[in-house]
Amino acid sequence: MRRVVVTGAGTVNALAPDAVGTLAAMKAGRCGIGALEFADVERLTIRIGAQVKGFAPETLFEKNKLSLYDRFTQFGLLAAREAMGQAGLTEVPGDRTRWGAIIGTAGGGNATVNEAYRAVYAEGKNRVHPFTVPRLMGNAAASHISMAWGLMGPSFAVATACASSNHAIGLAYQMIRSGMADGMLAGGAESMLNFGGLKAWEGLRVMSPDGCRPFAANRNGMVQGEGAGVFVLETLDSAQARGANILAEITGFAMCSDAGDIVMPSRDGAARAMRGALADAGIAADQVDYINAHGTGTNANDRTEAAAILDVFADRGKVVPVSSTKAMHGHCIGATGAVEMFACLMALNEGVIAPTVNHDAPDPDCPLDVVPNSAREAQVKTVMSNAFAFGGLNAVLVLSKI
């Protein structure tokens, strides 16, 4: 089987509109959560989020194309552009019929849906923008990335809620490894920070009104973010042949389903996914130097995830660094695994583990080393990235230094 490496990484999120700024923020433990700014926010009870601010799409895209791009597509395109640039590519190497784009998203063009509903219901209009459908469709980001870079192989969207990005990256890894494709732009893109999107989340009563505090005793829910992360994945041979800078090797991936509850997580499902990823990577639990947790800041996730980590890692689970960067960039839902991948790449390449910020009250139910508040230097050769979605769909990646 072919070895698969990451050679480019791009992102837009509340911390920064690029990879460099995101890594700097993660090192500094900066929190990107603040007051939400959009129409009708005063009608929400939850008014905080990790919003991408100062974003000026008209300066980033051609005007005639911009009318086809929902905000999540814009984020995805920008992240792909940065990832290709970082990979040193102006076009994909080799046969472009063997390259594709797999982009995770939960809400697709949620902002477009919100705008169209506002027009027809709130404003009483009988007309919506003619491109409403191609903007809102879940595959819009994957399709536009394929068009922007001439990727003529397999491209599609993955919708597994909060695990979408990890499923997307994992599928891209499996397709390249097995020879179904030579390279992929893979990751996730999401933007649900609008009145309708947040109102729906508010209804579930799992959102925190005042901050994201993963694994802390005083945590009281999740805080929503938005953004994208896209990565250039190719074979080790191709990367070495062109002298590319290799950011990491993807060595393991596993996905499984709880087949249990539509919102409550499962300790067994989370543990099975982690064990599966270790087995796929062919490594033992004690070889993992850092775990990027799902760590949403809800009561249910954090307690369940901590228990599952201790099931899989036994005593090592109490000492291996585990952090949730959602406290900084919010829960970017379908994009979250891709944004969190930057913490994994930073640990592998710079020997710096991103902290779990807002952590001043340890929870005895979560007896983990959560790297509280400040980034930490460490020798990191192998990392694990967890994603456990609503609907009981779990996806765990293992990456190693090459």
> Which of these is catalytic: 31, 162, 256, 332?
162
> Which of these is catalytic: 167, 212, 256, 294?
294
Residue 200 touching other proteins (CB under 8 A): no
With contacts defined by CB under 8 A, name the span among 37-45, 75-83, 369-377, 393-401 that binds other proteins. Answer: 37-45
CA-only gyration radius of the chain, Å: 20
> Which of these is catalytic: 144, 329, 331, 359?
331
Q: Figure out which of the listed residues 206, 306, 344, 366 binds other proteins, where binding follows CB under 8 A.
A: 206
Q: Whole-number minimum distance, CB 388 to other proteins, in Å?
A: 16
Q: Figure out which of the listed residues 20, 45, 65, 240 binds other proteins, where binding follows CB under 8 A.
A: 45
C-alpha distance from residue 290 to each of 4, 18, 100, 125, 293 (Å): 20, 23, 30, 52, 9
Tokens, residue 207: 């959102």
* Closest CB to other proteins among residues 20, 204: 204
With residues binned 3-state (H G I as helix, E B as strand, rest as coil), the percentages for the chain, rounded to 5, are 40, 20, 40
Q: Figure out which of the listed residues 263, 314, 319, 361 binds other proteins, where binding follows CB under 8 A.
A: 263
149 phi and psi angles, rounded to 5 deg: -115, 10
Which element (helix H / strand E) includes 329?
Answer: helix 326-329
* Closest CB to other proteins among residues 166, 194: 194
Residue 204 touching other proteins (CB under 8 A): yes
Q: Binders of other proteins: how many residues, by CB under 8 A?
A: 20
Residue 40 touching other proteins (CB under 8 A): no
* Residues 6+ away with beta carbon under 8 Å from 204: 263
In angstroms, the CA 255 to CA 386 distance is 10
With contacts defined by CB under 8 A, name the span among 43-51, 134-142, 234-242, 244-252 that binds other proteins. Answer: 43-51
Q: Whole-number minimum distance, CB 14 to other proteins, in Å?
A: 22
CB 190 within 8 A of CB 165: no
Quick one: which of 303, 381, 76, 186 has its CA closest to 68?
Answer: 76
* Closest CB to other proteins among residues 216, 338: 216
CA 254, chain centre distance (Å)? 16
CB 380 within 8 A of CB 345: no
In angstroms, the CA 323 to CA 112 distance is 34
With contacts defined by CB under 8 A, name the span among 104-112, 162-170, 202-210, 235-243 that binds other proteins. Answer: 202-210
Residue 220 touching other proteins (CB under 8 A): yes
Told to judge if 331 belongs to the known catalytic residues of this protein, a careful annotator would answer: yes
Q: Figure out which of the listed residues 98, 219, 272, 359 binds other proteins, where binding follows CB under 8 A.
A: 219
In angstroms, the CA 333 to CA 227 distance is 9
Told to judge if 162 belongs to the known catalytic residues of this protein, a careful annotator would answer: yes
Burial class (CB in 10 A: 0-12, 13-18, 19+), 34: middle
Residue 203 touching other proteins (CB under 8 A): yes
Q: Whole-number minimum distance, CB 205 to other proteins, in Å?
A: 5
Q: Figure out which of the listed residues 264, 279, 284, 314 binds other proteins, where binding follows CB under 8 A.
A: 264
With contacts defined by CB under 8 A, name the span among 117-125, 196-204, 237-245, 360-368 that binds other proteins. Answer: 196-204
CB atoms within 10 A of CB 383: 26
Strand segments (E) across 42-104 = 48-49, 99-104
Q: Whole-number minimum distance, CB 219 to other proteins, in Å?
A: 7
In angstroms, the CA 356 to CA 354 distance is 7
Residue 43 touching other proteins (CB under 8 A): yes
Bridge partners (DSSP) of residue 104 are: 158, 188
* Closest CB to other proteins among residues 119, 210: 210
Binding mask 373-402 for other proteins (x = CB under 8 A): ------------------------------
CB atoms within 10 A of CB 378: 13
Q: Say how many residues make up the chain.
A: 402
List the catalytic residues. 162, 294, 331
> Rule CB under 8 A: which residues touch other proteins?
43-45, 202-209, 219-221, 262-264, 298-300
